[in-house]
Amino acid sequence: MKTKKIAVFVGSLRKESFNRKMALTLMSLAPESFEFELLEIGGLPFFNEDLEVSPPAEWTAFRKRLSAFDGVLFVTPEYNRSVPAVLKNALDVASRPYGKNCWNGKPGAIVSVSLGTIGGFGANHHLRQMLTFLNVPTMQQPEAYIGNVSELFNEKGELVNEPTRNYLIGFMASFENWIMRNVE
């Protein structure tokens, strides 16, 4: 089986982000058929269509890098029942200019992570809505809303909750099947 390249996006910029810890955990629990890379999005200038005349170098590099991946994985917190601005900006930057959507056709999955009990449900579903428009076939089941995340990791950033670990292993196995069915 050919290795599939998966771009991972973390919606939180905080140094000790639980979302980053979750992304690293997911990458470590994934099948060997995946090659992951965290694509940093915090340095992307905000999208402004006026800049397309001479796009910022960061936009051009990001679009080129994203185009090389077979699939995408999003790990995001919820801010005000939606995704953080940095993640929305990355979606916008790589979907433009019109007709050159770098997300187009890349299968993906979403894991929302929250300190609260509903696990970022609003952000997860808002992101799904945006990915539908961007033509990212998004895995429907299993869904992943990881709540009470502060109780899941130790001080070293290691996942210590076995039921959650087992769930995430199953999630990543399903993600592997989803990617293999949707990548040409």
- At 15-47, the pLDDT tens digits run 999 999 999 999 999 989 999 999 999 999 999
Q: Give the residues across from 36 on adjacent strands.
A: 6
Q: Residue 4 belongs to what H/E stretch?
A: strand 4-10
Can you give the pLDDT at residue 114? Answer: 96
pLDDT digits (tens, 9 = 90+) for 144-180: 999 999 999 999 999 999 999 999 999 999 999 999 9
Q: What is the CATH number of domain 4-182?
A: 3.40.50.360
Burial track 132-163 (b if 16+ CB lie within 10 A, e otherwise): eebebbbbeeebbbbbebeebbeeeeebebee
Q: Smallest Cα–Cα separation from 124: which of 178, 75, 182?
A: 75
**Nearest 5°: CA angle at 77, between 162 and 66?**
100
pLDDT digits (tens, 9 = 90+) for 81-110: 999 999 999 999 999 999 999 999 999 999
Dist CA 13 CA 84 (whole Å): 9
pLDDT digits (tens, 9 = 90+) for 102-128: 999 999 999 999 999 999 999 999 999
Can you give the pLDDT at residue 152? Answer: 97
Predicted TM-score (pTM) of this structure: 0.97
Average pLDDT of the chain, as a whole number? 96
Domain ranges within the chain, ordered by starting residue: 4-182
Dist CA 157 CA 52 (whole Å): 40
Can you give the pLDDT at residue 157? Answer: 94
51-77 average pLDDT score: 98
Which band of pLDDT confidence, cut at 50, 70 and 90, is reported for residue 77? Answer: very high
Can you give the pLDDT at residue 1? Answer: 61
